[in-house]
Every structure is written in C-alpha cells, then in structure tokens.
Amino acid sequence: MRLTGESSHQPGSARLRQAAPGEDMIDPNAEAYTQKARQNLAAADTARAAGQYDVAASRAYYAAFLAAVAALWIEGIRPLTERQGTLSHEAVQGEWSGRLVYRRKLYTPEHRATLYSLYKWRIKADYHAERVTAREARQACQQGRQLVQAVLGRLRVDDRLEESHGTEGFGH
C-alpha cells in the first residue's frame, strides 16, 4: 500500500491516506526537489567559501531537507503541508528518519539524525544572534552533501557532487 500525506491544516497533525489508483509512484515533483537540493548545496558551498557561515549552514539544511522531500515523493509518501502551503519541516524530518531510515532501511542509520542536526544549525543561523562557526558550517555542508548524495545514489544518479563546486556533473 502506498501512502500519501494529507494535511488537516492543524499544527502537528499528520495523517496519511492511501494513494489513489493510478497515482504515479514517482511523482514528477521529485526531480524538481532534487534540482533544488543541488542548487542549495551549491549555494552552501559558495557561502562557506566566502566566509558566510550562517548562510552556508542554512542552505546546507535546505539542500538536505529538499533531498529528503524528493526521497519521500519517490517512495510514495506525500509530505504534509502547512496552512500557508509550505512543507512541514517536522513531518518531513519524522517521515525521513522514522519511515525511510528506521523502518524501511532505505538509507544508512547515520542519516537518521542528519536532518535534525542540520535543522538546529539552521535555527541558530537564521534566528539567533550567535553566529555559526567555520567548523559548524563545514560540518553542515558535509552532512548536507552526504544526505543529498545518498538520495541521488538511491535514484541511481551516477554522478557525485564535488566538494569544491557542489553541482558539477549534473548537466545543468
């Protein structure tokens, strides 16, 4: 049984429904999400190289988040949206770690906490006076890259992201 997300428009509520007959297992939006993940990873690398560590950490999180969204779509799980139409970060993190990593074992256990770890750095970067350090930004970019690569690898993308440029080899 394939499941899809359905939002009740109440914070913290997560319901799933069975996919409609004939609904594609791989949604065409998955490619758009992987493309956005690649773009955010490239932006994270560029920001880190420029010493913009807060921006790097924030973009690294979004790269991983969007890759996780693509992975969920591909597995037939439709991420929940909030009232304003944005994807629920809590729901995506929970479905990624709980369903794709822990239950289905589609990704290694090391990836289970990655989104949450990156999310904490993004919150620090975007909402707190304290700055993300160069070390934290480097770790965020590495973790984001590893998660994006894992998802792309699962999609059988043979090219790998290069550390220095982020998106080379993807035929933009």
Domain layout of the chain by residue ranges: 27-154
> Which residues does 24 contact at the CB level (< 8 Å), separation at least 6?
none
CB 61 within 8 A of CB 118: yes
- pTM (predicted TM-score): 0.74
Which residues sit opposite 3 in a β-bridge?
Answer: 18
Amino acid residing at 143: Q
| CATH number, domain 27-154 | 1.20.120.330
Q: Give me the pLDDT at residue 41, please.
A: 98
Q: Does 35 have pLDDT greater than 50? A: yes
Q: Give me the pLDDT at residue 19, please.
A: 45
Q: Give me the pLDDT at residue 27, please.
A: 60
In tens, the pLDDT along 72-129 reads 988 888 877 787 778 889 889 999 999 999 999 999 998 999 999 999 999 999 999 9
Alpha-carbon distances of 65 from 13, 37, 135, 157, rounded to whole Å:
19, 8, 21, 18
Tokens of 149: 């690569």
